[in-house]
């Protein structure tokens, strides 16, 4: 095929995993100008590679990727990605039907698809289900960023055991689907027999008592999970049910508040390291020893923007965030709206790293508390509730509201194919799930709405807890 000039006919040369690791190590200590130069060159390479897709070939025809500003390209999102999937993929061997078949089979989680790709799925906070494909180079970038920049709260332990050979790793999350964190966890275990023998994944969808028993039996020293799940484990440890020799907790996937951090660290008696990632780019940011999240800006570009997609200055909160993945050339994600509200730091971090600092403001679904036997409260995690509705009920566009102690309302938005059968299925799967967790007397109603209510940040909060008055009523039951 003859590409229109100035694009070269050959694809950009992809670095080896070893070269990627060396560059990540160097960039961690590089100055802001050097990081910006890496961004510039990698963006040019990405735009050149994107012309292998029909969508970006049309947009970029006649443009020079070395000088084209990123803001000249349109904003996109999951809806457009899935509606125009074949036009936005660089390898015609990847078909939407084939990828959907892979993700429908839990036995194929972390499969090396076509011998060169990893695939995961996500619905995200906007309710649009998405399928994301990564080539081996992108995965090597993610691995290098995780391995080289994750700061350990136990540096003395890493000096004695730099490879973590004495650790036992537990991943606590949704383990029944092709989710990014689970795919990555299983891929690493498959590539490392020692890691596989010392690692195990645990479902957050099971009753808490079963989860606690399994963790007690496995006795992990490192637990990777979501902040709400870590807070639940801290509660179980405080009351003496959870008894594990955990030394580190790694959290991500949800907003971690300072109060949550204190609760988790005190309850589990160990240090916590947080991270920020998404299906669109797994390791967006890592936490340094100062407790600040640093953007991996040498491989990902974040644009904090307002509701009209205009730039928001550092130090100010964005309405949403546009992400450009500089590592993924097979499925170019350029100015991709990830729906998160963030705030970029206006001053450099005291740790000395020039990678920009950010706060994540817009991932704040609520934990629900329902009455249990003998009036004892039962904690229900938002990720578990949303996973049940997505996987078992097949709905993605929703908001679950807890009106008072025993009454819940499920709002079903226009993104679902609504019918009495769908509404009944939603109520049924939710009721069975909360009963399996030990909750009693919860009544659930559904309501179809033309639009779901958005929070102050413009992001959909999918699980909303009851008001303070309702909370007091719960404790009186």
Tell me the three-class secondary structure of 128-152, residue by residue: CCEEEEEEHHHHHHHHHHHHHHCCC
CA 198 to CA 174: how far, in whole Å? 19
- Examine the domain organization and report whether 175 and 129 are in the same domain: no
Structure pTM? 0.84
> 377-380 and 368-371: which strand pairing?
antiparallel
| Biggest CA pair distance of the chain | 74
Task: Give me the pLDDT at residue 474, please.
Answer: 41
- Examine the domain organization and report whether 100 and 168 are in the same domain: no
- Examine the domain organization and report whether 310 and 338 are in the same domain: yes
Task: Give me the pLDDT at residue 88, please.
Answer: 97
How open is the CA angle 336-122-124, to the nearest 5 degrees? 65
- Examine the domain organization and report whether 378 and 293 are in the same domain: no
Q: Where are the alpha helices (DSSP H) in 239-381?
A: 258-268
- Residue 52 lies inside a defined structural domain of this protein: yes
Q: What is the CATH number of the domain that holds 353?
A: 3.40.50.12780
Task: Please say which residue of 237, 269, 301 terminates a domain.
Answer: 269
Task: Please say which residue of 360, 379, 403 terminates a domain.
Answer: 360
- Residue 6 lies inside a defined structural domain of this protein: no
CA 341 to CA 404: how far, in whole Å? 28
Q: What is the CATH number of the domain that holds 201?
A: 3.40.50.980
Task: Give me the pLDDT at residue 22, please.
Answer: 96
- Examine the domain organization and report whether 214 and 167 are in the same domain: yes
- Examine the domain organization and report whether 26 and 135 are in the same domain: yes
- Examine the domain organization and report whether 39 and 90 are in the same domain: yes
- Examine the domain organization and report whether 352 and 333 are in the same domain: yes
- Residue 146 lies inside a defined structural domain of this protein: no
- Residue 296 lies inside a defined structural domain of this protein: yes
β partners of residue 199: 169
- Each of the 477 residues of the chain gets a pLDDT tens digit; together they read 333 333 344 567 789 999 999 999 999 999 999 999 999 999 999 999 999 999 999 999 999 989 999 999 999 999 999 999 999 999 999 999 999 999 999 999 999 999 999 999 986 544 557 999 999 999 999 999 999 998 888 877 777 877 777 899 999 998 988 999 999 999 999 999 999 999 999 998 888 899 999 999 999 999 999 988 898 899 899 999 999 999 999 999 888 888 889 999 999 999 999 999 999 999 999 999 999 999 999 999 999 999 899 999 999 999 899 999 999 999 999 999 998 889 999 999 999 999 999 999 877 678 899 999 887 899 998 888 988 988 888 887 889 999 988 999 999 987 667 788 999 999 999 999 999 999 999 999 999 998 888 664 345 788 998 755 334 334 333
- Residue 3 lies inside a defined structural domain of this protein: no
- Residue 148 lies inside a defined structural domain of this protein: no
3-state helix, strand, coil in the chain (%, to 5): 35, 20, 40
- Residue 189 lies inside a defined structural domain of this protein: yes
> 271-278 and 248-251: which strand pairing?
parallel
- Examine the domain organization and report whether 200 and 239 are in the same domain: yes
- Residue 47 lies inside a defined structural domain of this protein: yes
- Examine the domain organization and report whether 115 and 162 are in the same domain: no
- Condensed to tens digits (0 to 9), the pLDDT of residues 172-205 reads 998 988 999 999 999 999 999 999 999 999 998 8
- Examine the domain organization and report whether 171 and 67 are in the same domain: no
Tally of structural domains, the chain? 3
- Examine the domain organization and report whether 292 and 243 are in the same domain: no
> Burial letters for 102-137: b for 16+ Cβ neighbours within 10 Å, e otherwise?
bbeeeeebbbebeeebbbbbbbbbbbbbbbbbbbeb
Task: Please say which residue of 220, 241, 269 terminates a domain.
Answer: 269
- Condensed to tens digits (0 to 9), the pLDDT of residues 85-138 reads 999 999 999 999 999 999 999 999 999 999 999 999 986 544 557 999 999 999
Task: Give me the pLDDT at residue 6, please.
Answer: 38
Task: Give me the pLDDT at residue 468, please.
Answer: 53
Name the residue range of residue 184's domain.
154-269
CA 33 to CA 275: how far, in whole Å? 24
Crossing angle of helices 208-218 and 227-238, rounded to 10° = 80
């Amino acid at each position: 095929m003859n590409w229109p000039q100035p694009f070269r006919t050959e694809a950009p040369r992809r670095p080896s995993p070893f070269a990627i690791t060396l560059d990540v190590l160097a960039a961690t200590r590089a100055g802001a100008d050097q990081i910006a130069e890496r961004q510039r060159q990698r963006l040019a390479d990405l735009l050149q590679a994107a012309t292998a897709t029909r969508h970006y070939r049309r947009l970029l025809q006649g443009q020079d990727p070395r000088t084209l500003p990123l803001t000249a390209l349109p904003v996109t999102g999951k809806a457009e990605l899935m509606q125009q999937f074949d036009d936005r993929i660089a390898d015609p061997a990847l078909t939407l039907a084939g990828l959907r078949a892979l993700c429908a089979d839990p036995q194929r989680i972390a499969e090396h698809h076509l011998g060169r790709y990893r695939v995961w799925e996500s619905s995200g906070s906007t309710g649009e289900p998405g399928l994301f494909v990564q080539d081996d180079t992108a995965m090597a970038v993610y691995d290098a960023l995780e391995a080289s920049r994750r700061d350990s709260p136990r540096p003395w332990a890493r000096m004695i055991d730099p490879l973590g050979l004495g650790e036992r790793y537990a991943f606590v999350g949704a383990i029944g689907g092709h989710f990014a964190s689970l795919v990555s966890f299983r891929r690493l275990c498959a590539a490392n027999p020692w890691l596989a023998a010392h690692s195990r994944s645990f479902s957050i969808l099971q009753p808490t008592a079963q989860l606690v028993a399994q963790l007690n039996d496995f006795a992990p020293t490192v637990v990777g999970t979501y902040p709400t799940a870590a807070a639940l484990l801290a509660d179980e440890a405080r009351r003496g049910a959870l008894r594990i020799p955990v030394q580190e907790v790694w959290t991500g996937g949800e907003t971690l508040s300072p109060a949550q951090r204190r609760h988790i660290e005190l309850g589990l008696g160990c240090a916590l390291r947080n991270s920020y990632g998404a299906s669109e780019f797994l390791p967006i940011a890592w936490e340094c020893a100062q407790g600040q999240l640093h953007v991996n800006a040498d491989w990902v570009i974040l644009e904090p923007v307002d509701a009209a997609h205009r730039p928001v200055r550092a130090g100010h909160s964005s309405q949403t965030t546009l992400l450009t993945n500089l590592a993924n050339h097979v499925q170019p994600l350029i100015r991709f709206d990830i729906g998160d509200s963030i705030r970029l730091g206006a001053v450099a971090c005291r740790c000395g790293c020039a990678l920009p600092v950010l706060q994540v403001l817009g991932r704040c679904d609520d934990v629900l508390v329902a009455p249990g036997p003998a009036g004892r409260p039962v904690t229900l995690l938002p990720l578990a509730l949303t996973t049940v509705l997505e996987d078992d009920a097949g709905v993605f566009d929703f908001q679950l509201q807890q009106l008072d102690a025993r009454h819940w309302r499920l709002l079903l938005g226009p993104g679902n194919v609504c019918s009495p059968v769908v509404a009944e299925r939603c109520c049924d799967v939710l009721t069975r799930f909360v009963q399996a967790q030990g909750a009693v007397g919860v009544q659930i109603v559904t309501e179809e709405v033309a639009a779901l209510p958005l929070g102050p940040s413009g992001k959909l909060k999918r699980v909303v807890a009851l008001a303070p008055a309702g909370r007091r009523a719960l404790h009186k039951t």
